Structure 1
Amino acid sequence: MSRPALEVADIFRDHGPAWRKAHAGHVSLHQLKVMSAIERCRTAALGGHVARCEDCAYTTIAYNSCRNRHCPKCQGAAAKEWLADRAAELLPVPYYHVVFTLPAAIADIAYQNKTVLYDLLFKVSAETMLTIAADPKHLGARIGITSVLHTWGSALTHHPHVHMIVPGGGISLDNKRWISCRPGFLLPVRVLSRLFRRVFLEKLVAAHQAGRLSFFGDYAHLAEAQSFAAYLTPLRKAEWVVYAKRPFGGPEAVLAYLSRYTHRVAIANSRLIACDQRGVTFKWKDYRIEGRDRYKQMTLGTFEFIRRFLIHVLPRGFHRIRHYGLFAKGACADNIARARELLAVAKPQDEPTAAAIDPSKPSCPCCGGRMIVIEVFARGATSRYQPTGPQSVIRIDTS
C-alpha cells in the first residue's frame, strides 16, 4: 500500500519535541510512550529486514512496526487476525448495529476518570441490552454482543460511545429454540435508553460514594456529594442517545463493518491533508448534516491537534473490544454451536483468510517472483544493502 503524503508520525516527529517541552509535567508517561512508538514506527529505529527476489534480484527494505494499538499504521494487520477468528463465529441471521453514547456532561467526568467510566459504559450498555432482550415482552432470549469502544468524534473531540454488533435474535431462556427478532427491528430504542440512563447513574453514584472518582480543575467541586448529586440532576430527565441502525446485508457486510470499526484509531493518516504554518488540516464528517455537505475540512493548531490525538490514548491494559452474552469468552464456542444446532445450519468450512497469508513474504513487485529475506538488522542499525529503485516499505493504514 502506498504511503500517504502526510502521517501522524510526521507531525509527531516534526512538532512533538516542542510540544512535549511546552507541556512538560502535564503529559502522562503512557501518552509519551505512544508518541515515541508512532514516531519510530516503520523506521530504522525499530530495525527491519531486507528481502530480495530470487528471480530478478529486486531488493526491498522493510522496517518493523511499533505494534502500538494507537498507531494508524499498525492496526490493519491486527484487524485481519482478529477478523479471522470472528468469521467462524458468525451466524446466518441478520446483524444489527447499536450505539450507546454518553451525554456531554458525563463525558466530561469520563475525561478525568477514563478507566472507571469507560468500564461502566461497556458494562451498563451490555447489561441494558441483555436485560431487555431477555424480557418476554420484547424478545425473551439470550443474545450475543460484540462491543467496541470509541472515544472520539470525527473532529477528534472527546466523545465516548460504544458500537455493538448484535445478531437479530437469540437462544430461548430454556435453551430449546432460537428466537428471531421481528424483521428490521431488534429492541425498542426508547426502552433501552431509559434503562441505560437509570442503571448508569446508579452505578456512577455508587462509584462516587466508594471514592473511585477523581476530580480536578473546573470539576474539583464534584468531589463533594451534594455538588455531585446536583450535577447529575438534569441528566436524570435528559434524553440519552441510543441508536439502532438497520440490519446488515449479510455476514460479509458484518465483517466489512468490523474491519472498519474494531481497530480504528482517533484519526487515520488518509484523513490528513496538510501540516503547515496554519496548523494541521484534515477531513472530518459533520454528522448533524445529511448528504455530501457533511464532508468538510478542519484546521487545528499543531499543538491542539497533538493534544486532541493524545486524549484518546486508552488507559494501560484497558480492553477496547469486549464480548457479552452468548459471545462471552468462557462459553462462546458452546453457545455458537448450540445456536447453529437450533438454526439447523452446519459449521462453516474453514477457508483461507487474510490472516493465513503471511504478509511478510509478498511477491516481487517487479516480476512476481518469491521474495527471500537476506538480512535482518537490529534496532538503530542500518542495512548493508540498498533497495532497488524507490524504497518499498509496507504501510498499513486504518480508515
Structure 2
Amino acid sequence: MKIASIINEHYDAFVSRYKGKVLPGHLKALNAMRHCRTPEAGELYVRCPDCDHAKWQPLSCGHRNCPQCQNHETSHWIDRQRNKLLPVHYFMVTFTLPREFRSLAYRNQRIIYSLMFSCVSSTLKDFGRNPKHLGADMGMTMVLHTHSRKLDFHPHIHAVVPAGGIDKQRRQFKKKKGKYLFHQKALAKVFRARILDGLNRLGLAVPKGIRPEWIVDCARVGTGITALTYLSRYLYRGVITERNIVAHQNGQVTFRYTESKTGKSCLRTLKGEEFLRLILRHVLPRGFRRIRDYGFLHSNAKKILALVQLVLHIRIHLPELRPRPAFMCPCCKSSMLVIGFRPPGNKPG
C-alpha cells in the first residue's frame, strides 16, 4: 500500500484536525513523501546508449522519514558498521524513558533526546571504567528510537556495545567475561538519577508520580551484526514500511505490527488523519542525529581505535562506497545514462 495515496487522501483532514499542533517539519515530511518519485520531486532525463530509448525518470524525495527512500544509505551504514566489528561478544543495552516523561519529551524533543544520549553514554562509560566491572574505556554505537511496535510514542535508546574495552595505559584490551555485561538494575538506577539531575539543571519540571524503578534491558547479541541490522531498519526510512500497511479503505488505514511479548502478528486500524499523526510524531527535529558513536568508536577517537586494532591484531578497513543502482533500460536492460535534469516543481512546457 503506497503511503503517498494515504497522504493525498487525508492531507486536508489532517491539517484541519491538528491545526495548531502541526510542526513545520511535519508538513515538510508529508509533502516530501506525497511527491516522492513523481515529477514534483524533480526528474532526470536518461537515455540508453545501446537502443537510444530515452525518458524522464522521477526522483525520490530523499526525506529520512520516507519509506520509499534511503535504502542505499541504510546499506552503506551497515557496511561501515560491519567493518568496525571486533572479535568479541556484543550486547545490546536498551534504556527506556518511562511513560510519565513522554509528554515532556515530545514538547522538548531536542533537549530531552540530547539528555538521553548524554546520560546513556556517561552511564555505560562509567560502568566500563569501574575496576569492579571492567576497568577500561568502552566503545558503543547508539540509536534513538521514538516508537513502540504499535508506533505509539515511546522514546528509548539502543546501545550496541562490544564486551570489552581498552586500557590505554597498559595498552591492553580487556574482554568482559560471562553472559552479562553489567547489572540491569544498577544501570537503571544510575540512568534514572542522571536524567532527573539533568532535568533539574535544565530547569524542566520533573513529572509527578514517577516510578522508583526504571527499565534497562541488557541482552547478549552474538557478533553484533544481527542487532545492527535490526536497528538499521528505522534509521533512514521512517517507522513503517509500506508492506506493513495492509489496507486503506472507508477512510481508515490498517497496518501490521508484531506484538513484543507474544511475537504474534497483530493489526491496528486508525482513521487516515490519525494514522498520519501517528507516524509524524516520530519525525525528529531538523538536523538531529539519530545515530551516534561513543568511546573508541567515535570519529574523533581514531588514535584509540588504531590502538584497539593493534592490540587485537586486526585491521578495520573502511568499506568501499557502494555504487548507486543504475537506471535500467526497459527495452534492452542496459544501464541508462543521465543527460538532463528537471528541478522539483518544473513541469514540462
The alignment's TM-score, normalised by the length of structure 2, stands at 0.91
Q: For residue 219 of structure 1, what is the aligned residue in structure 2?
A: none
Give the match for residue 24 of structure 1.
Answer: 19
Q: Is the counterpart of residue 284 in structure 1 residue 253 in structure 2?
A: no
Letter in 2 for 1:265: G
Task: Say if 2:215 is the partner of 1:241.
Answer: yes
Residue in structure 2 matched with residue 316 of structure 1 by the alignment: 286
The partner residue of 1:160 within 145, 149, 155 is 155
- Provide the residue aligned with 2:72 in structure 1: 77
1:340 alignment partner, one of 309, 315, 333: 309
The residue that corresponds to 1:393 in the other structure is: none
* 1:63 is aligned to 2:67: no
Provide Cα deviations, 1:100-132, integer angstroms capped at 9, x if missing partner: 111100122212221111111111011111111
- 1:15 corresponding residue in structure 2: 10
Separation (CA, whole Å) in 1 of partners of 2:35 and 2:237: 20
Rounded Cα–Cα distance in structure 1 between residues aligned with 2:82 and 2:245: 32
Q: Within 5 A, what are the aligned runs for 1:220-239?
A: 228=206, 231=208, 234-235=210-211, 237=212, 239=213
Please state how far the C-alpha of 1:301 moved relative to its aligned partner.
1.2
Aligned position for 1:179: 174
Tell me which residue corresponds to 1:372: 337
Q: Over residues 337-362 of structure 1, what are the superposed CA-to-partner deviations in whole Å (9 max), with x where a residue is unaligned?
A: 111111122344x665xx42232x24
How far off its partner does 1:170 sit? 0.8
Aligned-partner SS, 1:298? strand
May I ask how many residue pairs the two structures share in their alignment?
349
C-alpha deviations, 1:195-254, integer Å up to 9, x for none? Answer: 11111112122222xxxx4xxxxxxxxx6xxxx47x15x43x2x2111112223x36545
**SS of aligned partner of 1:305:** helix
SS in 2 for 1:329: coil
Percent of residue pairs bearing the same amino acid type:
34
Structure 2 residue ranges without an equivalent (≥5): none
Which whole-Å deviations, capped at 9, do the CAs of 1:62-88 have from their partners, x for residues lacking one?
Answer: 312222222112231222233343344
* Alignment match, 1:303: 273
CA–CA distance in 2 between the matches of 1:269 and 1:75? Answer: 14
C-alpha distance in 1 between matches for 2:269 and 2:255: 7
The one-letter code matched in structure 2 to 1:371 is: M
Relative to structure 1, the CA distance from residue 295 to residue 91 in structure 2 (aligned partners, 3 Å threshold; closer, same or farther) is same
Structure 1 residue 61, shift from structure 2 partner: 4.3
Contact kept, 8 Å, 1:189 with 1:244, in 2: the verdict is yes
Query: Residue 244 of structure 1: SS of its match in structure 2?
Result: strand
Higher mean Cα deviation, 260-269 or 138-147?
A: 260-269
**Matched residues in 2 for 1:375 and 1:261: separation?**
33
Letter in 2 for 1:372: L
- For residues 95-244 of structure 1, the aligned pairs below 5 Å read 95-172=90-167, 174-208=169-203, 213=204, 228=206, 231=208, 234-235=210-211, 237=212, 239-244=213-218
Match of 1:330 in 2: 300
Q: Secondary structure at the match of 2:233?
A: helix
Q: Which runs of 4+ in 1 moved over 6 A?
A: none
In structure 1, C-alpha distance between the alignment counterparts of 2:225 and 2:292, rounded to whole Å: 21
Distance 1:25 1:258 in 2: 33
Change (3 A) 1:351 1:128: closer
The answer to whether the 8 Å contact 1:363/1:369 transfers is: yes
- Tell me if the contact between 1:53 and 1:372 (Cα under 8 Å) persists in the aligned partners: yes
Deviation sequence 1:163-221 (CA, Å, 0-9, x none)? 1111111102525100001143222212111111111112122222xxxx4xxxxxxxx
CA 1:171 to 1:369, structure 2 compared with 1: closer, same or farther past 3 Å?
Answer: same
Q: Distance in 2 between matches of 1:25 and 1:378?
A: 31
Query: Distance in 2 between the 1:19 and 1:103 partners?
Result: 29
Q: Which amino acid aligns with 2:240?
A: I
Partner of 1:358: 324
Change (3 A) 1:243 1:150: same
TM-score, L = length of structure 1: 0.80
Give the root-mean-square deviation of aligned CA atoms: 2.3
Q: In 2, Cα distance between the equivalents of 1:383 and 1:52?
A: 17
